Amino acid sequence: MSDQKNFYITTPIYYVNDVPHIGHAYTTLACDVLARFKRLSGYNVMFLTGTDEHGQKVEKSALAAEIPPQEFCDNVSSRFNELASAMNFSNDQFIRTTEDRHKKAVQHLWKTLEEKGFIYADSYAGWYSVRDEAFYAEKELIEGEGSEKLAPTGAPVEWVEEPSYFFKLSAFEDQLIEWYETSEGAVQPKSRLNEVKSFVKGGLEDLSISRTTFSWGVPVPGNDKHIMYVWIDALTNYLTAIGYPDMENEDYKAFWPADVHMVGKDILRFHAVYWPAFLMAADLPLPKRVFAHGWWTNEGQKISKSLGNVIDPFELIDSYSLDAVRYFLLHEVPFGNDGDFSRQSFVNRSNAALANGIGNFAQRSLSMVHKNCDGKVPQPGEFTDEDKAFLEGLDSVLAEMTEHMDNQAFHKAFDALWKQVTAADGYISTQEPWKLKKADPQRMETVLYICVEAVRQLSILMQPIMPDSCAKMLDQMSVSERGFDQLGVKGRMQAGTAIPKPEGVYPRFELPAEE
């Protein structure tokens, strides 16, 4: 693989104090689509996801459940693994911070930072949110009911005083600003970059990175009375998975620095301020990009357990279909913005784009070939200017999609692709092959050949979004070579290829009557 291009993409590792919800599915789906796209483009890909299993919240949740913390973590982590399977994610690794390899990696990073003079012992006094696993300065707090102090996220905070080790975060203000301003696309989208720069320019305080009031975590090397603060522990997973601290490991050499850390906007600070500062201090290369996406609401309402409107991805898949869920989540809103989940919108968009769009075009094209061409791909005649223009559009769309995918503009990539679906509908409607059977049978065969070729190319291009349904479509056409290198002239359908009676792969959906 030495001559292959490498691509490393990560999800945040998900905290195991609760079960998976639509937000977890959304982040990992974005990574999965990008990982699949890069594999089909010929890249050697490492796609990492997993679970963050230490900290006070986990310890408290395990206590409430009356089971040991490790058993609690095993139970919840397995649900995230089940989500990965249910959503057909193609992750190469699923990492857990309770693994021995991770404890080894994070303790090595700690010792490196300590040896370089960036960790010191002191005591901490300040506001801490158990729910956020974060410390907050007084100026960041907001007032709740009855003058109660709350974190900016709305989470409760408590005053904490205890011995602590600190990381010299304040020493990295200038280096962080330089990174933001000289590394193109280091933090995206631009609105999030501006948010992070404003935070850093407001002044950084040294960061408390250990706790003594609970015991569920990685012990500090040389002082096991202290447990590593969850963020230095959790963030190091991105290095653990590729063999750190062995920097001669083939995976480390191939994949570090990461190409994209995909995160929700609520954990941007940890990934775009603390994490690069840790890496700078350890003299390790910085990730190429941190991309923070938005949140989902449900029918216009903020999603919360108290409102009872949490969107269960398992239920969505059972109610509709997996590939329709995958398509809708990434196409509904510009990636990076907040989005609203509406079942009416889901049904309308899925029916329009999938059942009535690519599904209808594929069914019409393959059915006519099966019925009118002895069930075989016909031999085309000479192409007209209209034929050539349509094929050129199909042949060239990958370049436009790649540009958008490299900027994590998934909706723009999908729009470029669906323009070709619209063009395909326009082509078959204009050429009217059903009228040509008597008027000009040779022309009918040429038109149908081009339609089948369009189904082939569109199915190959849609694989990252809807892998199952595209595989079924390509199976029906006996297409075995499915990489992006087969797009265009190189992979054209061969005349004589069997086309059995096609089966629909994109169902139509209806809302239940009560909705």
pLDDT digits over 48-107, tens only? 999 999 998 899 889 999 999 999 999 999 999 999 999 999 999 999 999 999 999 999
State whether 108 and 218 are in the same domain: yes
Query: Beta strands 260-264 and 6-10: pairing type?
Result: parallel
- Whether 306 is in a domain gets the answer no
- Whether 175 is in a domain gets the answer yes
Look up the domain containing 474 and give its range: 351-491
DSSP state of 213: S
Angstrom CA distances, 502 to 96, 361, 505, stand at 44, 12, 9
- Give the model confidence (pLDDT) of 107-163 as tens digits: 999 999 999 999 999 998 888 888 887 888 888 898 887 778 899 888 899 998 889
Model confidence at 1: pLDDT above 50? no
- Whether 335 is in a domain gets the answer no
Q: What is the mean pLDDT of residues 179-191?
A: 94
For the chain, what percent of residues have pLDDT higher than 90? 80
For the residues of 411-427, what is the DSSP string, one character each? HHHHHHHHHHHHHHHHH
d(CA 446, CA 211): 72
Q: What is the mean pLDDT of residues 346-357?
A: 94
State whether 105 and 188 are in the same domain: yes
> What residues contact residue 26 under an 8 Å CB cut-off, 6+ apart?
293, 296, 329
Q: Where a domain ends, among 294, 314, 342? A: 294
State whether 189 and 46 are in the same domain: yes
> Given the structure tokens 């280091």, which residue do they identify?
186
Domains: count for the chain: 2
For residue 42 the two structure tokens come to 């010929």
State whether 265 and 406 are in the same domain: no
- Give the model confidence (pLDDT) of 254-286 as tens digits: 999 999 999 999 999 999 999 999 999 999 999
Q: Chain-wide mean pLDDT for the chain?
A: 93
For the residues of 22-43, what is the DSSP string, one character each? HHHHHHHHHHHHHHHHHHHTT-
Please say whether the beta carbons of 304 and 296 come within 8 A: no
Strand ranges (DSSP E) for 195-252? Answer: 207-208, 210-211, 219-220, 223-228
State whether 76 and 182 are in the same domain: yes
Model confidence at 222: pLDDT above 50? yes
> What residues contact residue 305 under an 8 Å CB cut-off, 6+ apart?
none
Q: What is the mean pLDDT of residues 222-249?
A: 95
**Lowest model confidence (mean pLDDT) among 126-130, 222-226, 367-371, 387-391:** 126-130
- Res 72: pLDDT: 94
Model confidence at 515: pLDDT above 60? no
State whether 103 and 234 are in the same domain: yes
Would you call 25 helix, strand, or coil by DSSP? helix
Q: How confident is the model at residue 514 (pLDDT cuts 50, 70, 90)?
A: low
- Give the model confidence (pLDDT) of 17-53 as tens digits: 777 888 899 999 999 999 999 999 999 999 999 999 9
Q: How confident is the model at residue 7 (pLDDT cuts 50, 70, 90)?
A: very high
Residue type, 438: K
> Given the structure tokens 């992979």, which residue do they identify?
491
Q: Which residues does residue 10 pair with via DSSP β-bridges, in sequence order?
A: 48, 261
- Whether 241 is in a domain gets the answer yes
- Give the model confidence (pLDDT) of 405-430 as tens digits: 999 999 999 999 999 999 999 999 99
CATH, residue 371: 1.10.730.10
- Whether 227 is in a domain gets the answer yes
- Whether 501 is in a domain gets the answer no
d(CA 211, CA 201): 27
CA atoms within 13 A on the CB side of 499: 30
Nearest to 108 by CA among 249, 310, 261: 249
For residue 478 the two structure tokens come to 């006996």
What length is written for the chain?
Answer: 515
- Res 322: pLDDT: 96
State whether 394 and 275 are in the same domain: no
State whether 48 and 135 are in the same domain: yes
> Given the structure tokens 């509709």, which residue do they identify?
320
Q: Could you give phi then psi for residue 123, rounded to 5 degrees?
A: -130, 150
CATH, residue 39: 3.40.50.620
- Res 153: pLDDT: 83
- Res 306: pLDDT: 64
State whether 32 and 144 are in the same domain: yes
- Res 301: pLDDT: 79
- Res 2: pLDDT: 52
State whether 356 and 263 are in the same domain: no
**Lowest model confidence (mean pLDDT) among 34-43, 157-166, 195-204, 479-488:** 157-166
Please say whether the beta carbons of 459 and 473 come within 8 A: yes
Distance of CA 19 to the CA centre of its chain: 18
Please say whether the beta carbons of 230 and 133 come within 8 A: yes
State whether 247 and 384 are in the same domain: no
State whether 246 and 168 are in the same domain: yes
- Whether 416 is in a domain gets the answer yes
- Whether 10 is in a domain gets the answer yes
d(CA 25, CA 192): 21
Model confidence at 215: pLDDT above 50? yes
Please say whether the beta carbons of 298 and 311 come within 8 A: yes
CA atoms within 13 A on the CB side of 149: 13
Would you call 390 helix, strand, or coil by DSSP? helix
